[in-house]
Amino acid sequence: MPNSIAIINYKQCHPEQCPDGICVAVLACPLKILVQEDPYDIPFANPSPCKGCSRCANACPLKAITLSS
Ligand code: SF4
Ligand code: SF4
């Protein structure tokens, strides 16, 4: 879905449950839309539209990311 926006549900996001506190959704995004400044920090999503590939949503083990058009 082109021009999607990734939204992180902060009630479901728990970086301490990801390997070494590293957000695997950040690693999965080819466009660097998602950012995590340091391990164990809460990631945030750049509000710019992305290509909606869902890699971030699929990578997050806690299903904390949804895509909105
Ligand atoms: S992978 Fe999911 S739960 Fe883990 S830090 Fe990233 S958004 Fe949060
Ligand atoms: S849907 Fe794809 S391009 Fe958009 S933030 Fe997620 S991984 Fe990145």
What is the token pair recorded at 51?
A: 């290509």
Task: Map tokens 């479901």 to a residue.
Answer: 12
The bound ligand whose nearest atom lies closest to the alpha carbon of 6 is: 2
Average pLDDT for 3-18:
96
Domain range for 20 is: 5-68
| Residue 32 identity (one-letter amino acid) | K
CATH code, 62:
3.30.70.20
**SS3 letters across the chain:** CCCEEEEECCCCCCHHHCHHHCCHHHHHCCCCCEECCCCCCCCEECCCCECCCCHHHHHCCCCCEEEEC
Band of the pLDDT at 29, cuts 50, 70, 90?
A: very high
The bound ligand whose nearest atom lies closest to the alpha carbon of 26 is: 1
Of residues 31 and 47, the one with the higher pLDDT is 31
Whole-structure pTM value:
0.94
Closest to 48 measured CA to CA, from 35, 62, 59: 35
Residue pLDDT, tens place only, 37-58:
999 999 999 888 898 999 999 9
For ligand 1, the distance from its centroid to the CA atom of residue 34, given in whole angstroms, is 10
Q: Count the domains in the chain.
A: 1
pLDDT (0 to 100) of residue 1: 62
